[in-house]
Structure 1
Amino acid sequence: MTDRAAAGAAFDADVMIVGASFAGAACALAAARAGLRVVVLERKVDPGEKLHTTGIVVREAAEQTWLRHAPAECFHRVEQVRLYAPSLRSLALRAPGYYFLTTDTPRLMRWLAAELVCHGVDLRLGTAFTGAQLCQGGWHVPGIGRTRYLVGADGVRSRVAVTAGLGRVRDFLYGIEYEFPGLTLPGPDALHCFVSKRLAPGYIGWVARNPTGVQAGLALRHAPGRTCTPDIDGFLQRVRHLLQIPDDAAPGATRAGLIPCGGPVARIARPGVMLTGDAAGVVSPVTAGGIYSAWRHGEAIGQAMAGHLLHGGVAPERVALESAPRFLTKRALRWLFDRLQFDWPFEVLLHTPPLRLAAERVYFHRRGVRAC
């Protein structure tokens, strides 16, 4: 037995990941497919329940990540963004070849959990992470065992971050989303985005068709210490006539939660422990690309842990830090939107080149955009 193998035999796992959503699953799949022993702790018994994500997947995630293997029934393709001013005047935006996928998110998360098991991950559903202690060469998680690496993919209120003394997410949006099963929308499929300082200060409202119906959400800037809940019912009352959502339509499911918007946390890793996904703040603060950035970061960490343990490669803690996207331009837009959001300039600028350029950066990731 080699020295590396002998050292590994003293541990119950090479990697323990807390959280089985997109970033945690990406990290687990990358590490397990490379040959590591991976344990994933997920507090939910059913990974498709009590979701917080909108589940909107950008083209890059659909084509360049493991999500490309998901069943087609999980997705609904959307090729247009319709942007609405506060008066409900609108602008249709397209980019040749670009698209979004809305998802049957519960089904997608259950498929993803099955993929983990299929690739040899020890997925422990209904298992909450309560803490960990440093041990020789790694971490000891009570009731679970010893691991070389601990990864926190457990959301904006990460217990792993608290346990390990890592950075905490400080800047948030707060969002609520309804799902209306069986509904459809009129006209060409689009991601409908609504700007309104009164209803969505600091962010937007949105409506889109998905594989099972229609999803509608509203998010606003979260102010610590002040309770402010998005008025999603007021938002729907204002826009339902445009999208032909019946007055008596009742949501079949509701999602709500905090959305990081301040960029990566100050301390994303220390020896033997790293954060990814929402816990690390590595989600885009302005656009629907959060799943993609979280996936790529989690995957990079998983590959780095395998490369380091099996081949003496670069330390994964360094990779966790260096591969974290900074979102500098989008964070600048976020800062401006927080402080200079007024309805009248948006009305004036709706059909102008500067606004179309901003939409290109936000929705289509700098690809050419065509306004209709």
Structure 2
Amino acid sequence: MRLPTRRPMHNEGTSFDFDLVVVGASFAGAACALAAAQRGLRVCVLERKRDPGEKLRTTGIIVKEAAERTMLGQAPASLVRRIEGVRLYAPSLEHLNLSSPGYYFLTTDTPGLMRWLAQQLRAHGVDLRLGSAFSDGERIVDGWQLPGVGRTRYLIGADGARSRVAKRCALGEVRDFLYGIEYEFPGAQLAHPDALHCFVGKRFAPGYIGWLAQNPTGIQAGLALRHDPTNARAPDIDAFLLHAGVAGGLPRYLKPGQVRAGLIPCGGPVANIARDRAILVGDAAGIVSPVTAGGIHSAWDHGWAVGRAVAARLRDDGPPPEQVALQTAPSFRVKRALRWAFDHFQMDWPFDLLLHTSPLRWAAEQVYFHRNG
């Protein structure tokens, strides 16, 4: 892809090394960096991992909207697998098959996808620094000074639910979490590979679900639950797979390869998302659905909007990016209300009793197929 010729920017001086430094090279950070780089800005991305595909904390499942409206749809075919249906399991392990005409999900070779994103950053002229963690920053006139990096006009925190950028810049911090763990079974095949298998049940997944999915390299199996910092416990994924694995078509006696685990924001956007040329995006900003915990599409859109806003501010004297970051963050009002209800009133018997009824099917289709956006 040919890069645009860089024009002098509004009030541009020579004292800044970068127009924006993005901390974190996952979906939101990559989107922000790419959007800015495409407008000719000088962009640096700091990623603490030496390999962007290691130690992941995402399922990597991409919804149709993200596949068709973002650069993620350009990922190599070898990195994605199309799935067109959902199989929803009640606590009794009875299931309901769900689908919507034309709707699909893409499971991914997630480590491969993150490495591909890193390649895209460098192809677009981004200074990607792997193995470089954000340590500190000092506010200066019209920007930030970062040790070992230099001066930047804007600092973008895309560094996850426990954002160091948020703490250093006195921005809002994520308070409400799910805790998830996921196994990868390389080379394995589900008995029913063309569905996303989702398990509801308070015993193993209070506040969320368990899941099985076929991806390009094998099977991914996960479990998440509401995180209570006063009584924290890890999801018992081994017991869950013994209970639900056969129903979901998981072959017996598999040994997991890669294991992923981490906190997932579920409370909606943080209260103070931006100030003083520091902006949060993605998990750091709480841009994750409180109901489904899906964050790739919304994180990409928000990161992209912020990257474009920085470029518009510097090149065209556009509105403050801090203002755009706030305006383009999804509110999730209805989903936050559903999250509260699920946390306080989750019971197994309604799912068992109502699984095959029209109201439950309708509600599940709204959640999984984004019929209300």
Q: TM-score range by the shorter chain?
A: over 0.9
- Kept in 2: contact 1:24–1:298 (CA 8 A): yes
Q: Which residue of 1 aligns with 2:222?
A: 217
SS state at 1:243 partner: coil
1:314 positional shift: 1.3
Q: What is residue 313 of structure 2 aligned with on the other side?
A: 308
What are the within-5 Å matches in structure 2 for residues 359-370 of structure 1? 359-366=364-371
| Identical-residue share of aligned pairs (%) | 66
1:119 aligned partner: 124
**Structure 2 residue aligned with 1:62:** 67
User: 1:126, 1:187 → 2: CA distance?
Assistant: 39
Task: Check if 1:259 corresponds to 2:278.
Answer: no
Q: Are positions 1:81 and 2:66 aligned together?
A: no
After TM superposition, the runs of 4+ consecutive aligned structure 1 residues lying more than 3 A away are: 2-8
SS of equivalent residue, structure 2 residue 45: strand
Decide which of 346, 349, 355 is 2:351's aligned counterpart: 346
Q: 2: distance between equivalents of 1:286 and 1:318?
A: 26
Name 2:143's counterpart in structure 1: 138
Aligned to 1:150: 155
- 1:70-109: per-residue Cα shift (whole Å, max 9, x none)? 1011101100001000000010000000000000000000
Are 1:330 and 2:335 counterparts?
Answer: yes
Aligned position for 1:286: 291
1:53 aligns with 58
- How far does residue 174 in structure 1 lie from its aligned partner after superposition? 0.1
- Displacement of 1:333 in angstroms is 1.6
Contact 2:10 2:316 in 1 (8 A): no
By how many angstroms is 1:367 displaced? 6.4
2:178 & 2:239 partners in 1: Cα distance?
18
1:295 aligns with 2:300: yes
Partner of 1:163: 168
TM-score for the superposition, normalised by structure 1: 0.96
- Report if aligned partners of 1:8, 1:14 keep a CA contact under 8 Å in 2: no
Distance in 2 between residues matched to 1:329 and 1:300, nearest whole Å: 23
Alignment pair present for 1:227 and 2:246: no
Deviation by residue 1:287-314 (Cα, 9 ceiling, x = unmatched): 2641000000000000000001000011
Farther off after superposition, 97-106 or 180-189: 180-189
- Mapped to 2, the partners of 1:187 and 1:199 lie a distance apart of 22
Deviates more, 1:58-67 or 1:347-356: 347-356
Specify the code of the residue in structure 1 equivalent to 2:299.
A
1:240 matched to which residue of 2? 245
RMSD value over aligned CA atoms? 1.5
Give the Cα–Cα distance (whole angstroms) in 1 for the partners of residues 365 and 247 of structure 2: 24
For structure 1, the 5+ residue unaligned runs are: none
Alpha-carbon separation, structure 1, partners of 2:193 and 2:114? 27
Query: Counterpart amino acid of 2:344?
Result: R
Check whether the contact 1:272–1:317 (CA below 8 A) recurs between aligned residues: yes
The secondary structure found in structure 1 opposite 2:290 is: coil
Q: Match for 1:138: what amino acid?
A: G
Choose the corresponding residue for 2:198, options 183, 189, 193: 193
Alignment-mate amino acid for residue 22 of structure 1: F
Q: CA deviation at 1:239?
A: 1.4
The 8 Å contact of residues 281 and 287 in structure 2, kept in 1 or not, is answered as yes
Say whether 1:272 aligns with 2:277. Answer: yes
Partner secondary structure for residue 310 of structure 1: helix
Gaps of 5+ in 2: 1-6
1:333-352 deviation line (CA, Å, top 9, x unaligned): 21111111111111111122
Moved more, 108-117 or 343-352: 343-352
Once residues 95 and 289 of structure 1 are traced to their aligned partners in structure 2, the CA distance between those partners, rounded to angstroms, is 18
TM-score, normalised on structure 2?
0.96
Secondary structure at the residue paired with 1:241? coil
Amino acid of the structure 2 residue aligned with 1:204: I
Q: Provide the rounded CA distance (Å) in 1 between the counterparts of 2:192 and 2:48.
A: 41
Counterparts of 2:93 and 2:241, CA distance in 1: 13
Query: Cα distance, 1:361 vs. partner?
Result: 1.9
Q: How many matched pairs?
A: 367
